[in-house]
Amino acid sequence: MFCAAILAAPAGWGQQAVYSWQKRQRNRFIDPYTPKRIEPIKLANSDRLERLLRAGKLYLSLQDAIALALENNLDIEISRYGPQIAQADLMRAKAGGLLRGVPQTVQTGPETVQTQVAGGATGGAGRGAGAVRAAAGGGGAGGVTAVEAGGAVITQTGVATPNFDPSFFTRYSWSHRSDPQSNTITTGTNSLIFESHSWNIGFTKNWASGTGFQFGWNNFRFKSNNTRSDLNPGWSSNWQVQITQRLLQGFGRAVNARNIKIAKNNLRVSDLVFEQQVIETVSSIVKLYWDLVAFAEDVKVKKQALALAQKLYEDNKKQVEIGTLAPIEITSAEAQVARRQQELTAAETALLQQETVIKNALSRTGVYSPLLADARIIPTDRLPKPTSGEMLELTKLVDTAVKRRPEIEQTRINIENTKIGMAGSRSQLRPALDAMVFYNHNALAGDVNSLARPPFIPNPDAFFVGGYGTALKQLFRRNFPDYGFGIQLNIPIHNRSAQADYIRDALQLRQQQLRERQLLNNIRVQVENARIALVQAKALYDAAVKERQLQQATLEAEQKKYALGASTVFFVIQYQRDLAQAQSAEVAAMAAYAKAKVDLERAIGRLLETYHISIEEAKAGVVSRPPDLPAPPKG
C-alpha cells in the first residue's frame, strides 16, 4: 500500500517520501553511535536589560529585577543543567549502568556590601560569586554507597545490575597453521598444514527479572593437506541458544531495576534543587534591591543634612561679616559641612558598590559590558512601610513551611532512594542459585577429499557431501541437536562482605532519617526566628519614626531659638546631626522590615508565590511579564 501510494503520487512527492523514509532509517541506525549535540552556553543577556536602559540609566523595578535574575543570573543558569543531567542518568540506568548522581548543591546569592548605615547598623559583606551549600537532604544516589571521582560513581554495593541494552556481536578470523607430526597414520603426512576461516555472530539480552538470553551462530571453514580425512575442504556450523535465570541472589525487578527507580526519583530531586536555587537567588535579589533603595534614600538624607549644614555655614558667615557673631562659629560650621560631605561621599560610595553587586547578579557578563558598567541604576519602587496586619499563628506558619519547603520533599525522596538501593545489599546476602537451559544444532559438510591416496579410500556419507548450503540445511532440519539444563549453587562461607555492606547501608538510612527530623526541627526554628525578626523590625520602625519626628521638631525649635539669639551654633549642629541619624535610622528600619518579610516568606516556602514566579518560566529562562518601561522624558 505504501509503494502504491508513492507510485500514484506525483514524481517529486514520491521521491521526497522515499528520501525522508531512508533518512529516518539511516538516522535511526547511526544515532546510537554519534555524540548528541549539546547546546553551547548562553552568554548573551536577555533583551529586557537593554529595554530598561534609558540615556545611560537602568530604570529598575523590583519585579524587573526578579525577572532579570530568572533570565540572566548565572547561578540559576548553572542549576538549569541539573534536570538535564538527571535525564542522562536515567538513560544510563535504563541501560543497566551505574548511577553518577545528580547535583544537590545550591549557590547562596550575593549579599549587600559592607557599609555603615542607619546610625551604626552594618550591612553584610558582599559575596559576588556566592557560597556553595549542600541542598537539604543530601544523600547522593540513595542506597548506592559510592566513591566519587570527578563526579562518576566507581563502586556500588549489592548485586551488580545487568546490562539491559541488547548487544549484537560478530567476529571473523583467518588462520594458517603448520604442525609437524610424529607419525603419518592419522594424517598421512609428517607436516600438517591447516587453513581455517571462522565467522561468528551473536545476540545477547538481559531483563530486570534476572533472565539472560544468548544466541550464537558459528561458522567454520577448514582446508588442510590431511590425506586421511573424508571431507576436505569442509564446513562446520552450529547455532546455540542459552537462557539463564537467577533464582536467589539477583532475582527480581526490585533488585535489578533499583537504579532505574532511583534515577526516576532523582528527576524530581533535580527539580527540587532547581527550585531551591531559584528561591535562594530571588530572596537574595529582593534583599539586594531593598538595600539599594535604602542606600539611595540614605544618599538623599545625607544631601539634606549637607544642605542644612551649608545653609548654617552661609548664615554664620553673613553674621560674622556684620559683626553679630564671633568668627569661631564659622570654623564650627565649616567642620560640620566637612563631616556631612564625608558622610555623603561614604553613602554614595556604598550606593555605587551596591549597584555593582546587583549588575553582576542580573547579568550574564557582569560589569564586563561597558554599556552596563557605566549605567546608573534608578530603582522605581519605594520601600514598603510596615502594616498593622494581624500576624499569623506560629503553628499555621510551621504547617505551611512543612507543606511547601522543597527541602523536605527532597529529603524524603533521598530516604526512599536509600531504601530502594538497599534491595541490592539485601539480595547480596542470599546464596547464588542460577538455572540454565541450552539448545544447540550442529552441522558438517564438505567435499570428498581429493588428496587421499591408496590404501586409504575416503568414503563419506552422501548426507555430508556438499558446500555451505548443505550445512545450512542440516541446521534448519535440526539433524544434530544438543540440549540440556544445569543448576549452579554458590554459598559463601561467613558472607562477611555482604553483611558489612548491608549494615553500613542500614546505618546510613538511620542517619538520613535523623537528618530529616533535624531538618524539620531547624525549619521550625527558622520560621519562629523569622516571625520574631519581623515583629522586631516593625517595632524598630515605629520607634525610628517617632525618633525622627522628635528630632525634626527639636531641630525646628532650636533653629527658632537660634534665630532669636537664645541658642548657639553648637546646639544647632548637634540637633542637625541627630536628625540626620534619625532619618538614616528610619530608612534602615524600613529596609530591615522589607528584608524580614522576605526571610519569613522564604522560611514558610511562600516566596515564589508572593512574587508570582513560575518555575516553568524560570527553567526556560524567559519571563513572559513585560518590563516596566519608564515613561519617556518630557520635552
Q: Could you report the average pLDDT of every consecutive run of 10 residues in the chain (635 residues)?
A: 52 56 69 87 89 90 95 94 94 91 89 58 42 47 34 61 93 91 77 90 95 96 85 91 95 93 94 96 95 93 88 81 76 86 92 93 86 89 80 84 93 93 92 95 89 76 88 90 94 92 93 95 94 91 91 86 76 82 90 93 93 93 86 55
What residues does 54 pair with on adjacent strands? 57
Q: For residues 256 and 161, is the Cβ–Cβ distance under 8 A?
A: yes
Q: Which amino acid is at 427?
A: S
CA end-to-end span of the chain, whole Å?
73
Specify whether the CB–CB gap between 41 and 78 falls below 8 A: no
Alpha helices (H) along 564-629: 569-603, 607-610, 615-620
pLDDT digits (tens, 9 = 90+) for 89-98: 999 999 998 8
Task: State the pLDDT at residue 21.
Answer: 59
At which residue does the C-alpha cell 527553567 appear?
A: 619
- Strand 432-448 versus strand 167-180 pairing type: unpaired
SS3 of residue 444 by DSSP: strand
Kindly report the pTM of this predicted structure. Answer: 0.84
Residue 265 has a pLDDT of 95
pLDDT of residue 200: 95
User: What are 497's three cell numbers?
Assistant: 562482605
pLDDT at 287: 95
CB atoms within 10 A of CB 187: 18
> Residue 272's CB: how many other CB atoms inside 10 A?
23
CB 595 within 8 A of CB 536: no
**Tell me, what's the pLDDT at 192?**
84
What pLDDT does residue 141 have?
Answer: 34
Cα–Cα dist 330/335, whole Å: 9
The C-alpha cell 545528580 sits at: 102
For residue 167, is it left (φ>0), alpha (ψ between -120 and 50) or beta? beta
Tell me the three state secondary structure of residue 513. Answer: helix
Architecture of domain 53-154+262-392+529-620: Up-down Bundle (1.20)
Number of H helices, E strands in the chain: 17, 15
pLDDT of residue 5: 54
Residue 274: CB partners within 8 Å, gap ≥ 6? 79, 80, 82, 83, 615, 618, 619
